[in-house]
Structure 1
Amino acid sequence: MPDNSRAINRVFTKKVIMDLIENGKNDVFDYVVKRYINDPESKDHGQLISEIYLYLDQKQRNEYYYMNTLLNKLLCGIHNVNTTSALSQVRIEHSIADFIMINGEGRVYEIKSDLDNFDRLYNQLKDYFCAFSKVSVLASIHNRDRIEKILSSFGDMGEAVGIYMLSEKSTIFNKERGREPKEYNVLLNHESIFKLLRKREYERVVQNYFNQVFDVEPVFHFKKFLEEFRKIPILEAQKLAFQELKNRNKISIKEFEKIQPELKSVIYFSNLTKKMPEIEKLMQTQYGR
């Protein structure tokens, strides 16, 4: 494998975790361990994961590091795992939302790590506001002034965007050094909200709202349900859609607490909680190649 620092970004993925569970090894993981870890043979996989993650913290804070910090802070520290769901990599219009939190209301967090640029930020935020009323940016505290300047050029939309700052100590500021998002409904549209939902989800929303079963030929199914969904007042439609999204990624506090902090994001978003016994065993297994 070529000497490429991007390899470390691939460690915290479903494929790597599954390879380690099923095959006991993974080329990307082995490469990263040999490149970044001293004396790996004396350590178990849990220790190796912790040291790789520490390297990310100190040298290469990538999107996974930001997302995992956000998940740990919000789902563990502020909200209740039993009443809150988080989603990742959700398509909204032409953009992919990094992180979505559903807890009564829906919030989108666009992550801008030190490795990212801000070229597409306007279009990303505009797309998110088509389905969500509260949108925030999470960036390094070193980019605070830059973020504020960029958002100020976006007019009313930019003023509504929340700002969260990740500090050197991995704390997240939004009050002292950032700001809370403001509700912004100008760009909301039914189709963007509708497309967040899976088939069974939008069927449930529409049929429950109208208390009616719609028997439609498969070729006209999507069109018919979207047509009916558009008849629901936009904020009510959004609320009903969020209730469906909230039922995804269900996990108990007990299950969530069992996950090693560095792995919470990949396990949670990849639906690997059923593999926790195997993952726990792997983390305690001595490394040796």
Structure 2
Amino acid sequence: MAVNTTVDINNLRGLSKLVSHAAFKKLSAGTNQSAYIRRMKKYLGWEQMGEERPRTLEALIAEAYQTLCSHYRHEYIYKSRLLTDFVLKHYALEDTVLLNEFRIGSSIADAVLINGTNKVFEIKTELDTPERLTTQLLDYYKAFSEVYVFTHHTLAVKYFELLPSNVGLLVYGGDGAISEERKAISTTQYLDIRTMMGSLRKPEYLKLVKMLAGFIPEATPVFLYKACLETLQCFTSEEVQRAYHSVLKERISVANNQFIEEAVFPCYLNFSIYNQKLHKNSYLTLVNNLNKTL
């Protein structure tokens, strides 16, 4: 990535830790944000801002987000764009779930979208390398049918040459817009029932088995997982996949969707809000923190 020489790379790295899902979750969990504000000011060069300084924490984070968009597009920037500039433009949230950091086999997908279709997004920013990409793609096809690599437009040719033709390519344009440069081809021959079941929580895989077989096998707790897997293997991988996606769609949060659709929070927070369990107290804490004067 071509980083502006007037912006210190160490400050950008520091900012990237403050503009992240983990950091934003903390903003909704506690009222004392003095250390967060102090670090944000340091990395943004507060003393050099003069009269143009942000006046609230919300505005300070917005300044940091825009700085990172321009000079250090780390993973959270891509995920934020994926939700606001791709998912919200093409899908209805009431019938769509976007999963963050979803484990599939030995890999963790950056994002998974389930609607009438299903898509895995592997993000490769300008800060990443293609290392492990082949292994990741093989894992993703064990549970999902469409796989995309999401990368910067300056890397598009590189990934076109690296990727198999069935893998789609999403591109982060120079203007920040997202375009689908190559559509993924649905691929189902690698589906693996063990991998699908292994990616679910216990209540979910029990629901999956009940949905397909009509019963949950009788077994001691130690052998229940094995008995469920044996039951699922009586069905085709395509049948299991359809039910598997149906179970995952039950993770849709009506409350979080409402926050996004009503633009309750700034757009840079959308991805984090979407992936939080934001209760009344945490909602009020986050609102109060964002409104803090500096």
Do they fold alike, i.e. is TM over 0.5? Answer: yes
Are the structure 2 counterparts of residues 57 and 5 from structure 1 closer, same or farther at C-alpha, using a change threshold of 3 Å?
closer
Q: Which residue of 1 aligns with 2:167?
A: 161
Number of equivalenced pairs = 276
Name the structure 1 match of 2:43.
35
Contact 2:86/2:178 (CA < 8 Å) preserved in 1? no
- For each residue in 1:118-145, what CA deviation from the matched residue of structure 2 results, as whole angstroms up to 9, or x when unmatched? 1211111111111111000000001111
For 1:53, the equivalent position in structure 2 comes to 65
Following the alignment from structure 2 to structure 1, what is the Cα–Cα distance between the partners of residues 233 and 78? Answer: 36
Q: 1:32 to 1:215 in 2, by over 3 A?
A: same
CA distance in 1, matches of 2:254, 2:93: 7
2:24 matches 1:17: yes
Q: Distance in 1 between matches of 2:36 and 2:134?
A: 35
Corresponding position of 2:259: 255
Matches within 5 A, 1:63-74: 63-74=75-86
Contact 2:80 2:271 in 1 (8 A): yes
Any idea what SS the aligned residue of 2:186 has? coil
Quote the Cα distance in structure 1 between the aligned partners of 2:135 and 2:245.
Answer: 23
Q: Is the 8 A contact 1:165 1:173 kept in 2?
A: yes
Structure 1 position 51, deviation (Å): 0.5
Among 269, 272, 278, the alignment partner of 2:285 is 278
**Which residue in the other structure is 2:189 paired with?**
186
* 1:218 alignment partner AA: P
Inter-partner Cα distance in structure 2 for 1:255 and 1:220: 42
Quick one: percent identity of the two aligned structures? 26
Write the deviation string for residues 124-183 of structure 1: whole angstroms up to 9, x where unpaired: 1111111111000000001111011111xxxxxx11100111001111111xxx111001
CA-CA distance at 1:42 after TM superposition: 5.1
Q: Secondary structure at the match of 1:97?
A: strand
**Superposition map of 1:1-289 within 5 A:** 5-21=12-28, 22-25=30-33, 27-36=35-44, 37=46, 38=49, 43-151=55-163, 158-174=164-180, 178-252=181-255, 253-256=257-260, 257-272=263-278, 274=280, 275-287=282-294
Distance change in 2, residues 1:19/1:107 (3 Å): closer
TM-score, normalising length: structure 2: 0.87
Shift, 1:258, TM fit: 1.4
Compute the displacement of 1:278 (Å): 2.4
1:259–1:276 CA contact under 8 A, matched in 2: no
What RMSD, in angstroms, separates the aligned Cα atoms of the two structures? 1.9
Deviations 1:70-99 (A, max 9, x none): 011233211111111100111111111001
Cα distance in structure 2, aligned partners of 1:126 and 1:219: 30
| CA-CA distance at 1:260 after TM superposition | 1.4
- Which consecutive residues of structure 2, in runs of 5 or more, have no partner in the other structure? 1-9
TM-score, length of structure 1 as denominator length: 0.89
1:82 partner SS: helix
SS in 2 for 1:142: helix
